[in-house]
Amino acid sequence: MEYLKQVPLFSDLPPEVLQRINTVVLERTYKKGESIFMEGEPGQGLHFVRTGRVKIVKTAEDGREHIIKFLKAGEIFAEVLLFNHLPYPATSVAVEDSRIGLIRNEDLELLILENNALALLLIRSLSQRLLYAQQKIKELALQDVPARTAELLLRLSREQGKCDAAGKPLLDLPESRQELAGLMGTSRETLSRTLSDFKKRKLISMEGNQIVLLQEEQLFDLSS
């Protein structure tokens, strides 16, 4: 039951509610690169990452993959299917070996009827997901690649919350540049050119898959 406290959605719920949730959680393990569910498959319920990392992707008609979001331990996904029993609107894939918790829709609906606090937390989660989707649409429609890159670096920095020895924001990029490009809706080559330009302008420093944001304010201005 302690593992549920590591999921922000559940962390503030009382022990008796966590115990009730624990009785309906199904746990599954996935190897790196294995699909958790595919776009168009019947939706089963709310998922959360116990360990590992997951990516949510949409595939365009021409076969190109657009990454919607990366998820780390404690984050939930597929909660948009609650109460509507629709197919999964996107595909989820394990980025590394992962353990995934699943609460089936019918069980989650009963839990919500039993507990008003859980219902409120889910509404908040859905609202945050809607705001995230609106921001993604704005980025893709209105911002050029440098602006989208600056926005992504700043967002990853906020999410990871790490700093280097000098107190500058430090972030770990996904192992694959293609994954990062997919998250931005651009090509790997364009992303590499943009990061190289940022490095030349001393907005960032790069070593391997780590980036230090040297000029956070300038990146913010660029993303606005």
For residue 11, what pLDDT is reported? 85
Q: Is the pTM here over 0.85, yes or no?
A: no
Dmax over CA atoms of the chain, in Å, equals 57
**The one-letter amino acid at 116:** N
Structure-block tokens of residue 38: 């595919």
For residue 22, what pLDDT is reported? 93
Q: Where are the beta strands (DSSP E) in the chain?
A: 26-30, 35-37, 45-51, 54-59, 65-71, 76-77, 91-94, 98-104, 162-163, 169-172, 204-207, 210-213
- DSSP tag of 174: P
Condensed to tens digits (0 to 9), the pLDDT of residues 93-122 reads: 999 999 999 999 899 888 888 888 888 887
- Say how many residues make up the chain: 224
Structure-block tokens of residue 194: 């943009």
For residue 155, what pLDDT is reported? 82
Q: Residue 92 forms beta bridges with which residues?
A: 37, 56
Under-70 pLDDT residues of the chain: 62, 129-143, 174-176, 224
For residue 129, what pLDDT is reported? 67
Give yes or no for a contact between 99 and 89, defined as CB atoms under 8 angstroms apart.
Answer: no
